[in-house]
C-alpha cells in the first residue's frame, strides 16, 4: 500500500521568509522566558510545587550554573547546625553570614554584591527545593575547602567542625551554640588545615555536644553508633583532629610495614611540607 506523503511547502522566497520569521519568534519567546525567570522573585516560589529540576533551572538563570554549584558547595561546607547565636558573641556568626563570607571571597559574581538577606532567600529556596542535588555532592569538606581556597586566592581562613547532631539526643529539642567558635587544626590526606570548631548545647537538659563526644553532669561519653557513623574525624586533643581517611593508614602501616607512629609523622611532614608552611604562615 502506498504511503501518504506529507505535502511539502514549495521552495519559494515567501515560504523561506515565513519559516525564518517563525524561528525568530520562537527564539524571542524563549529569551523572554529566560528574562522573566531572571526577574522572578524567589520568595514568590517558596511554597509553589516546583520539582527539583525546575527549581535548579530557575536558580541557574539567576545565579549561573557555576553559582549554583558554588552555592551547593557552600551549603555542604558550612554545617547546618550552626544556626543559633552564641551567648555573648558578636553579631554575624549565623550560618547565612558564614556562607556569605565564603561565597563572596571565592565566587565574587554574583554573590559579592548580594545582601545577606537576599542570600538567605536563595538558601531557603535551595535547601527546601533541591535536597537531592545537595545530597549528591560527591566532594567532602576538605576538597570543598581546597576548591574555595584556590578560588579565593587563599583568603578563606578555615573550615568548620561541628557536632554530628542537629537536635538533643535526650529530648529532641533544638541546640544552641555553647561558646564562640574556637581554633583547632585538622590533619587530613591533603596536609593540615585550620578549622573553626563549634560546640552546641541543650539548655533544657544541660548537655554539651562536642565533635566526637557529648557530656552532661554524669560525665562524657561517645556518640551512639548511628550518630558516630557520620563522624569523619578522630579527636586527638580538644584542638587537634585527624581525618579518618588519614588515621586508617597508621595502624595498617604499623601492622604490615613496620612503620612506627613517629616514622609516619615524619613521612607526613615531609610529604606535606609545602602545605605545612602555608598553614604555619597564617
From the CB of 196, what's the least distance to Zn ion, in Å? 24
SS3 category, 174: strand
Q: Which is nearer to Zn ion, 131 or 204 (CB)?
A: 204
From the CB of 170, what's the least distance to Zn ion, in Å? 5
Residue 200 sits in the site that holds Zn ion (CB under 5 A): no
Q: Find cell 581525618 and name the residue.
A: 243
What Rg, from alpha-carbon coordinates, does the chain have? 26
Q: Which is nearer to Zn ion, 170 or 183 (CB)?
A: 170
Q: List the beta strands (DSSP E) in the chain.
A: 159-161, 176-177, 182-188, 191-197, 200-202, 207-209, 213-216, 219-222, 233-237, 240-243
Residue 58 sits in the site that holds Zn ion (CB under 5 A): no
134, 76 contact by CB (below 8 A)? yes
Q: Report the residue number whose CB is nearest to Zn ion.
A: 168
From the CB of 208, what's the least distance to Zn ion, in Å? 11
Q: How many CB atoms lie within 10 A of CB 203?
A: 13
All three cell numbers of 83: 544556626
Count CA atoms closer than 13 A to 159's CA, side-chain side.
Answer: 24
Residue 242 sits in the site that holds Zn ion (CB under 5 A): no
From the CB of 197, what's the least distance to Zn ion, in Å? 21
Q: Which is nearer to Zn ion, 28 or 171 (CB)?
A: 171
From the CB of 79, what's the least distance to Zn ion, in Å? 19
Residue 193 sits in the site that holds Zn ion (CB under 5 A): no
Q: Which of residues 140-179 bind Zn ion (CB under 5 A)?
A: 168, 170-171, 173
Residue 205 sits in the site that holds Zn ion (CB under 5 A): yes
All three cell numbers of 100: 556569605
Which residues contact Zn ion (rule: CB under 5 A)?
A: 168, 170-171, 173, 202, 204-205
Amino acid at each position: 500500500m502506498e504511503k501518504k506523503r506529507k505535502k511539502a511547502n514549495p521552495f519559494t522566497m515567501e515560504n523561506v521568509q515565513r519559516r525564518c520569521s517563525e524561528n525568530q519568534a520562537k527564539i524571542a519567546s524563549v529569551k523572554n522566558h529566560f528574562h522573566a525567570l531572571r526577574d522572578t522573585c524567589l520568595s514568590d516560589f517558596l511554597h509553589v510545587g516546583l520539582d527539583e529540576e525546575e527549581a535548579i533551572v530557575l536558580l541557574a538563570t539567576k545565579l549561573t550554573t557555576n553559582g549554583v554549584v558554588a552555592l551547593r558547595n557552600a551549603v555542604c561546607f558550612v554545617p547546618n547546625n550552626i544556626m543559633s547565636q552564641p551567648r555573648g558573641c558578636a553579631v554575624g556568626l549565623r550560618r547565612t553570614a558564614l556562607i556569605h563570607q565564603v561565597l563572596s571571597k571565592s565566587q565574587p559574581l554574583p554573590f559579592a554584591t548580594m545582601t545577606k538577606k537576599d542570600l538567605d532567600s536563595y538558601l531557603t529556596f535551595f535547601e527546601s527545593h533541591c535536597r537531592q542535588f545537595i545530597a549528591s555532592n560527591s566532594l567532602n569538606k576538605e576538597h570543598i575547602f581546597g576548591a574555595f581556597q584556590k578560588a579565593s586566592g587563599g583568603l578563606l581562613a578555615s573550615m568548620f567542625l561541628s557536632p554530628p547532631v542537629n537536635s538533643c539526643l535526650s529530648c529532641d529539642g533544638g541546640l544552641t551554640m555553647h561558646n564562640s567558635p574556637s581554633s583547632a587544626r585538622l590533619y587530613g590526606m591533603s596536609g593540615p588545615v585550620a578549622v573553626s570548631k563549634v560546640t552546641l548545647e541543650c539548655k533544657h537538659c544541660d548537655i554539651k555536644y562536642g565533635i566526637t563526644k557529648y557530656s552532661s553532669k554524669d560525665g562524657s561519653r561517645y556518640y551512639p553508633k548511628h550518630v558516630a557513623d557520620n563522624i569523619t574525624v578522630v579527636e586527638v586533643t580538644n584542638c587537634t583532629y585527624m581525618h579518618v581517611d588519614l588515621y586508617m593508614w597508621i595502624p595498617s602501616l604499623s601492622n604490615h610495614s613496620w612503620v612506627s607512629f613517629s616514622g609516619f609523622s615524619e613521612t607526613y611532614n615531609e610529604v606535606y611540607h609545602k602545605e605545612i608552611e602555608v598553614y604555619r604562615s597564617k
